[in-house]
Amino acid sequence: MQNLLNFTFENIDKYIGANENKSAGLLDFKSPAELNKLVDFAVGENGLQEGEFKEALKNYLDYSVNTGHKQFLNQLYSGFNLPAFIGEMITALTNTSMYTYEVAPMATMIEKEMIRLMNSFVGYTDGDGIFTSGGSNGNLLAMLSARNKLFPEGRFTGYENRLKLKAFVSDQAHYSFETAANIIGIGSKNVVKVQSDKNGKMIPAALERAIKKSLEMGETPFFVAATCATTLLGAYDPIDQMSEICRKYNLWLHADGSFGGSLIISKKHRHLIKGLEQTDSFVWNPHKLMNIPLVCSTFLVKNKDTLYKNITDINTDYIFHNIDAVEDLGKKSIQCGRRVDAVKLWFAWKYYGKNGYENRINHSMSMAKYAEEKVKSHPSLELLADRQSFAVCFRYIPEYKTDINEFNLKVREKLRKEGKTIVNYGFHGKTLAIRLVIANAELQKEDIDLFFHYFTTAAKELSNIKQMENEFIS
Ligand SMILES: Cc1ncc(COP(=O)(O)O)c(C=O)c1O
């Protein structure tokens, strides 16, 4: 066993080393068919010999995407955070579940402290919260809380949408709100997409118009969500203006900070979430901008009673014995067995300190600004929307006449398959936008320079090939 553990740690060390090695690449790309040839995915009748086990482990590491690498710029999460990684290992080592103090004394105290700390940043002075399995599930809890506040009996009797409950989110909001509406029995068609401006922020006047229209049609508006950093453009909806509207119509206001919620710890940038303390609930995902390994996500609520009274209210005596002088957190969760996700956050936050983490967020924002300037100063790159926060959306304009969307996609795919850099894309209207995300707080200017070097070189290469083809044809 020791031998296997040593082998694993040696390989972990090499893997982490590759994060720093700029020429190493971040992926040895293989197609599904190639992977099937290289790796035996089936579980055999007999167990593996030690050597075969080691090979399986190496295969996994060799053909995975190294998301801690500085050229992994594809998702809203990235980066390698050592204290959090140690927290994750310790979590697996101690392998417990978050439901009771009895089996998770340290983790219970830590989760309570993390929720207290996070609520103090938000400004919920008498709030509560719970670690969940992701931002999507936090958004679901928010919608469920709003529905049950309006119809407390629905918890017991079930819910029929005869009153036509309507939820309002921006047209840039995450798809999880539609999923949530489906799950809680509202129906995804009853999520109204409110118009956003050219930079992706919800237009408050459009929100009010949509609410009034809904009322005129005899429907029941009940829930509004502001997005704190939209998935494509990184836009922050104007919470303070939205909260005035919600107060006027007595609606639950939720803020989805799955991507950009961690910005709240930056004094310099928190003006983007001005008014957050006015909301009823907030989703904050430390697994994104705080670089905690997936999953680390919280659902925070302003009213202390919400989780226990509005959602669960469970007191099953075969698990919750109420014998320790502390509440069992499982009573507030829709999960029974629940991973310990607070511990890795706690290790990381204690390691960097509040100031250290604030600096990391500020640094990411300044790197995003640097990336935006690189785009603006390059003659062949076009910025597709003003940068709002941590995402820069751009495209390359090729030197010859072609389908620009297709061209940019080809550049992206070439780089991904070469394993040099991975950057994602989405559609801004009909325009394919390359979305460069600066979520890894360890990124430096040279990493961003390298990304643009890769991107523009690959684009030039593609342009040259195409031009030669055109000349040949003509
Ligand atoms: C704005 C927004 N909300 C919600 C989510 C979903 O979060 P999770 O992936 O943790 O479920 C995302 C994910 O990228 C997001 O960008």
Pocket probe mutation, ligand 1, options 239, 254, 259, max atoms within 8 Å of Cβ:
259
Q: Which residues contact 194 (CB under 8 A, 6 or more apart)?
A: 168, 169, 170, 171, 202, 203, 206, 207, 210
> Of all protein residues, whose CA lies closest to atom 12 belonging to ligand 1?
258
pLDDT at 162: 80
Long-range contacts formed by 5-8: CB under 8 A, 24+ apart: 7/54, 7/57, 8/57
Ligand 1 center from residue 57 Cα (angstroms): 30
CATH class of 1-27+65-82+354-474: alpha beta
- Scored b (16 or more CB within 10 A) or e, 224-253 reads bbbbbbbbbbbbbbbbebbbebbeebebbb
Phi-psi sector, 100: left (phi>0), alpha (psi -120 to 50), beta: beta
Amino acid at the residue 171: D
Average pLDDT, the chain: 95
Q: What Å distances lie between residue 190 and 148, 183, 211, 283, CA to CA?
A: 17, 12, 12, 21
Strands 128-132 and 191-194: unpaired
In this predicted structure, the answer to whether residue 242 has a pLDDT above a threshold of 80 is yes
Confidence of residue 21 (pLDDT cuts 50, 70, 90): confident
CA 377/CA 231 separation, integer angstroms: 25
- Answering whether pTM is above 0.85, one says yes
Ligand 1 center from residue 377 Cα (angstroms): 31
> Of all protein residues, whose CA lies closest to atom 7 belonging to ligand 1?
135
pLDDT at 106: 98
pLDDT at 142: 98
Radius of gyration of the chain (CA): 24
Task: Assess contact for 359 and 434: CB atoms under 8 A.
Answer: no
Ligand 1 center from residue 265 Cα (angstroms): 19
User: 337-364: per-residue pLDDT in tens?
Assistant: 999 999 999 999 999 999 999 999 999 9
CA 249/CA 55 separation, integer angstroms: 61
Helix (H, G, I), strand (E, B) or coil at 228: strand
Average pLDDT rounded to a whole number, residues 259-265: 98
Ligand 1 center from residue 136 Cα (angstroms): 6
What phi and psi values does residue 365 have, to the nearest 5 degrees? Answer: -65, -40
In this predicted structure, the answer to whether residue 120 has a pLDDT above a threshold of 90 is yes
Ligand 1 center from residue 257 Cα (angstroms): 8
Pocket probe mutation, ligand 1, options 131, 136, 236, 239, max atoms within 8 Å of Cβ:
136
Confidence of residue 472 (pLDDT cuts 50, 70, 90): low
Pocket probe mutation, ligand 1, options 139, 140, 231, max atoms within 8 Å of Cβ:
231
Helix (H, G, I), strand (E, B) or coil at 434: strand
Q: What is the DSSP letter of 399?
A: S
User: What six digits make up the tokens of 410?
Assistant: 């080809």
Atom of ligand 1 nearest to the CA of 138: 11
User: What six digits make up the tokens of 330?
Assistant: 């499982």
Strands 281-284 and 297-301: antiparallel
Do domains 1-27+65-82+354-474 and 98-340 share one topology? The answer is no
Query: Strands, E, within 188-262: which ranges?
Result: 191-194, 220-227, 252-257
CATH architecture of 98-340: 3-Layer(aba) Sandwich (3.40)
Ligand 1 center from residue 108 Cα (angstroms): 25
Confidence of residue 298 (pLDDT cuts 50, 70, 90): very high
pLDDT at 416: 97
Pocket probe mutation, ligand 1, options 74, 141, 258, 339, max atoms within 8 Å of Cβ:
258
Ligand 1 center from residue 338 Cα (angstroms): 20
Task: Assess contact for 130 and 299: CB atoms under 8 A.
Answer: yes
Q: For residue 45, with 0-12 CB atoms within 10 Å meaning exposed, 13-18 middle and 19 or more buried, which class applies?
A: exposed
Q: How do the domains of the chain map onto residue ranges?
A: 1-27+65-82+354-474, 98-340
In this predicted structure, the answer to whether residue 473 has a pLDDT above a threshold of 60 is no
> Of all protein residues, whose CA lies closest to atom 16 belonging to ligand 1?
231
In this predicted structure, the answer to whether residue 474 has a pLDDT above a threshold of 60 is no
Atom of ligand 1 nearest to the CA of 76: 14
Pocket of ligand 1 (CB under 6 A): 76, 134-136, 174, 176, 227, 230-231, 256, 258-259, 285, 297
Give the count of alpha carbons within 13 A of 131, CB side only: 29
In this predicted structure, the answer to whether residue 18 has a pLDDT above a threshold of 90 is no
pLDDT at 470: 66
pLDDT at 25: 86
CA 35/CA 53 separation, integer angstroms: 17
Ligand 1 center from residue 173 Cα (angstroms): 9
In this predicted structure, the answer to whether residue 93 has a pLDDT above a threshold of 90 is yes
Ligand 1 center from residue 23 Cα (angstroms): 31
Q: Which residues contact 343 (CB under 8 A, 6 or more apart)?
A: 87, 90, 91, 106, 107, 110
Percent of the chain having pLDDT more than 90?
87
Ligand 1 center from residue 133 Cα (angstroms): 11
Confidence of residue 228 (pLDDT cuts 50, 70, 90): very high
User: 131-187: per-residue pLDDT in tens?
Assistant: 999 999 999 999 999 999 999 888 888 887 788 999 999 999 999 999 999 999 999
Confidence of residue 464 (pLDDT cuts 50, 70, 90): confident
pLDDT at 159: 82
In this predicted structure, the answer to whether residue 24 has a pLDDT above a threshold of 90 is no
User: 184-206: per-residue pLDDT in tens?
Assistant: 999 999 999 999 999 999 999 99
Confidence of residue 382 (pLDDT cuts 50, 70, 90): very high
Amino acid at the residue 433: A
Average pLDDT rounded to a whole number, residues 252-276: 98
Length of the chain: 474
In this predicted structure, the answer to whether residue 395 has a pLDDT above a threshold of 60 is yes
Task: Assess contact for 196 and 172: CB atoms under 8 A.
Answer: yes
The Cβ of residue 29 has, within 10 Å, a number of other Cβ atoms equal to: 15
